[in-house]
């Protein structure tokens, strides 16, 4: 098991919540730094408040072709994308520039459903995916832009994810932890070499 998967973020997440900078600040969660160090990187100079989450950047022990495909295959996404405690239903996914997708996450305990969808803006095979996200919930307004880059490295594939324009109601530490859980599940999908 890789060290990035063994790390426990629960203790630092509660500490980070106490240090929340409040409205009007830009907060970048940057992979590669300690969690609380990442949350401390605040830029108060931005005149427009835009939250940006940079997800953990793991090196997955799977070929870049397989990792890239896992971000565009509806069945694969339903398996690895929802954070712990949620299920995912993909209503449609048209993986081409200008194509759209629609899906929802459901809290398995409460049954509460969060639906969202968007449009694919850029697809560079095995290199980059860029798409938009928009929630159905009017309490989560605006459009999120998600950019995923894939780099083939000696041990597999490095994945970098940036979400820009997150609604203010979504705490960045929750975004970061959600991606941590999802990427662990992605590793379980793309790393095994199963014959036939």
Domain positions in the chain are 55-190
Helix (H) or strand (E) holding 146: strand 144-153
Give the separation between CA 138 and CA 135, rounded to whole angstroms. Answer: 7
For residue 54, is pLDDT > 80?
yes
Exposed / middle / buried, residue 167 (Cβ in 10 Å: 0-12, 13-18, 19+) = middle
Q: What is the CATH T-level fold of the domain 55-190, as seen in this structure?
A: Alpha-D-Glucose-1,6-Bisphosphate; Chain A, domain 4 (3.30.530)
Q: Is the pLDDT of residue 150 over 50?
A: yes
**pLDDT > 80? residue 33:** no
pLDDT level of residue 42 (50, 70, 90 thresholds): very low
pTM: predicted TM-score of the whole model, two decimal places: 0.75
Dihedral Cα 78, 84, 163, 35, nearest 10 deg? -150
Find the range with the poorest average confidence among 14-23, 94-103, 187-196.
14-23
Q: How confident is the model at residue 104 (pLDDT cuts 50, 70, 90)?
A: very high
């Amino acid at each position: 098991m890789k060290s990035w998967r063994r790390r426990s973020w629960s203790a630092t997440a509660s500490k980070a919540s106490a240090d929340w900078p409040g409205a009007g600040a830009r907060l970048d969660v940057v992979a590669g730094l300690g969690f609380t160090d990442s949350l401390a990187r605040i830029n108060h100079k931005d005149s427009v408040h835009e939250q940006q989450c940079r997800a953990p950047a793991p090196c997955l022990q799977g070929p870049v072709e397989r990792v890239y495909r896992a971000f565009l295959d509806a069945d694969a996404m339903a398996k690895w994308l929802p954070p712990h405690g949620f299920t995912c239903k993909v209503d449609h996914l048209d993986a081409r520039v200008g194509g759209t997708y629609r899906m929802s996450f459901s809290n398995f305990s409460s049954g509460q459903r969060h639906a969202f969808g968007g449009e694919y803006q850029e697809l560079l095979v095995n290199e980059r995916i860029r798409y938009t996200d928009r929630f159905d919930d009017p309490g989560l307004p605006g459009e999120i832009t998600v950019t995923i880059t894939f780099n083939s490295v000696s041990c597999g594939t490095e994945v970098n994810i940036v979400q820009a324009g997150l609604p203010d109601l979504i705490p960045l530490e929750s975004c970061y932890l959600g991606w941590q859980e999802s990427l662990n599940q992605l590793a379980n999908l793309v790393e095994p070499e199963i014959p036939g």
